[in-house]
Amino acid sequence: MNKSLRFISLATATLLFSACFGQSDSTAEEPEPTTASDGHAVISIYHHVDANTPPATSLSPEEFRTHMEHLRDNDFTVWRLDRLLEALENQDPIPDRTVSITFDDGYISIYEVAFPMLEEFGFPWALFLSTEPIDNNQRGYMSWDQIREMSEAGVMMANHMVTHPHMIDPEPGETERERLARMRGELLEAEQRIADETGQNHRVLAYPYGEYDLDLLEMIEEEGFVGLAQNSGAVGYHSDMRALPRFPLAGIFASMNTVPTKLETLAFEVQQVDPRSPMTDSRNPAVTLQLAGDFNTAQLGCYAGTDTLEIEWLDEDEGLFRIQPERDFNSRRFGYNCTAPRRGTNRFYWFSKFWTRSTIDNQD
């Protein structure tokens, strides 16, 4: 997994950036891979399926059912996440319009609402668990008995750390080495706890809040883990297996005005990202990118929030360019999207450059 850090993701000009942030097959017959999308897939991420929980991480049961109906009715193949990861690692054929469904945290609505609905549709899926709230019987979370029931039904159980920490933040007085040692210990503790309760041990981590740095990428690689982020976009053979993008489908991003486009996203081949690190002290950092794929550079567009960014071409023939927003972003997490339609199709490539600011004055 010694691959250079690459983020991939897709958007249309009308979509806003989301920085929020199994049984192994669906029951439908799987289509053969096609040239247009061979090697591409989408991983979706959900948290709450509840109309009364925080809007930024929630969608209603009715909205979730509509998403599942769209997958069922539009020739999508739903693979459990571990099957998709194996195909990406081995560059095995991936059917056209393949999706993997994931949930983070372990909220009770996942068990009470999403689980029976996914069973009804026959879709496999994965659940990333933070173990401490479950061990503490925290209100709003499911129990280990419920988790074991889902595990026995074929749900993939994977790692979301013990305490759901900001993994990039040191504790007061803590050195970088000490922070990494603490995060390594918590990672392995959560993996063992999940294995003890469910018998599953996949060594796949979903970063809490989607936050990571280059040292964390190296650490999880040393431990043999795959990593999943929370910045939007498709995955492909060139993706960094330590920081795979996922489409957050909650709040305003759960709308069926935009979800169908997201689920058909294609992955740019990202040949260069400079700086590679998502960490920044700037409120409007510049980034140099080199993107490859079957697209017309004249149709490439880049966006920061609702702002259209000017593309400074360094070598248009090679797809090399620089972007930087004019205005500042004050949030802890933000990002830039670059999109382009694939020639001869109505489907889009999407790249998302994710940024995180770890500063005392910038809280969630």
Contact partners, residue 205, CB within 8 Å, separation at least 6: 128, 158, 159, 160, 161, 187, 220, 225, 226, 227, 228
pLDDT tens-digit profile, the chain (364 residues): 333 332 333 333 334 333 333 333 333 334 343 343 469 999 999 999 999 999 999 999 999 999 999 999 999 999 999 999 999 999 999 999 999 999 999 999 999 999 999 999 999 999 999 999 999 999 999 999 999 999 999 999 999 999 999 999 999 999 999 999 999 999 999 999 999 999 999 999 999 999 999 999 999 999 999 999 999 999 999 999 999 999 999 999 999 999 999 999 999 999 999 999 999 999 999 999 999 999 999 999 999 989 999 999 999 999 999 999 999 999 999 999 999 999 999 999 999 999 998 754 444 4
- Tell which residue, 82, 131, 128, 129, has the closest CA to residue 102: 128
What distance in Å separates the CA atoms of residue 357 and residue 334, rounded to the nearest whole number?
A: 9
Position 261 scores a pLDDT of 94
Report the first-to-last Cα separation within the chain, whole angstroms.
32
Question: Distance between CA 88 and CA 156 in Å, rounded?
Answer: 17
Tokens of residue 245, six digits:
């993008």
Write out the DSSP string of 4-52: ---------TTPPP------SB-SSPPPPP-TTTTTEEEEEEE-EE-TT
- pLDDT number for residue 109: 98
CB neighbour list of residue 257: distance below 8 Å, 6 or more residues apart: none
320, 314 Cβ separation under 8 angstroms: yes
Cα separation of 211 and 46, whole Å? Answer: 17
Q: How far is CA 251 from the centre of its chain?
A: 16
What per-residue confidence (pLDDT) applies to 24? 33
Enter the pTM of the model: 0.88
Q: Concatenate the DSSP letters of all residues of 132-201 into one string.
A: HHHHTT-TTB--HHHHHHHHHTT-EEEE--SS---TTPPPTT--HHHHHHHHHHHHHHHHHHHHHHHS--
pLDDT value of residue 359: 59
Integer Cα distance of 165 and 263 in angstroms: 29
**b/e sequence 141-156, b meaning 16+ C-beta within 10 Å:** bbebebbeebbeeebb
- Which of 271, 276, 275, 267 lies closest to 340, judged by CA? 267
pLDDT for the residue 3: 34
Angle at 212 between CA 206 and CA 215, to 5 degrees: 120
Which residue ranges form the domains of the chain, and what is each CATH number? Answer: 40-264 (3.20.20.370), 273-356 (2.60.40)
Rounded to 5 degrees, φ, ψ at 223 are: -90, 0
pLDDT at residue 9, rounded to an integer: 34
DSSP string, 213-246: -HHHHHHHHHTT-EEE--S--EEETTS-TTSB--
Question: Which two structure tokens, joined as six digits, stand for 98?
Answer: 């393949």
Q: How far is residue 278 CA from its own chain's centroid?
A: 15
